Amino acid sequence: MPSIAFFEPRIPENTGAAIRLSACTGAPLRLIEPLGFTLEESRLRRAGLDYHDLATVTLHTSFAALCDELPEARIFAFTGHAQTRFTDAHYAPGDVLLFGPEPTGLPDEVLTHPRITAAVRIPMLPQRRSLNLSNAAAIAIYEAARQLGFTGQA
């Protein structure tokens, strides 16, 4: 299963929802520091319900650290500025689906980093800024799971 990665997440409720998503899909959740909250934040724990022990969550001190720890991983950067739709990418186990923080998205130095395999976007109606971060991650990981035949999922 690919991983979901949040670059410098700022909203604890979105990360809590992603913890639930990780627990329900088996997709590891990777959080790239600095975080805009602590992992003990009550809003994060409340949004994650009782799924925290069922999810695989890894902290990375920086984007470079994530790249170093996953040297073979393909990294798909989700951004509203990409031309390629996320459904046109072909996902594989071990891939990383990378999302930027609300409201700014991924910074240029990440989007142009040589480790980025492709920049992809989730289509939306014009004049809309962005989807909720955890909703975007759910859309993306379920497309990856669909492509991979929902391996291990009932």
Q: What are phi and psi of 142, to 5 degrees?
A: -75, -30
What span, in angstroms and rounded, lies between the C-alpha atoms of 16 and 62?
A: 20
Confidence of residue 40 (pLDDT cuts 50, 70, 90): confident
Q: How many CB atoms lie within 10 A of CB 40?
A: 8
> How does pLDDT run across 77-112, given as a tens digit for each residue?
999 999 999 999 999 999 999 999 988 999 999 999
DSSP letter at 56 equals -
Given the DSSP bridges, would you call strands 3-7 and 116-121 parallel, antiparallel or unpaired?
Answer: unpaired
What span, in angstroms and rounded, lies between the C-alpha atoms of 59 and 81?
A: 27
Amino acid at position 72, single letter: E
- Percentage of the chain modeled with pLDDT above 70: 94
> How does pLDDT run across 110-125, given as a tens digit for each residue?
999 999 999 999 999 9
CA terminus-to-terminus distance, the chain: 14
Report pTM: 0.93
State whether CATH 3.40.1280.10 applies to domain 3-147.
yes
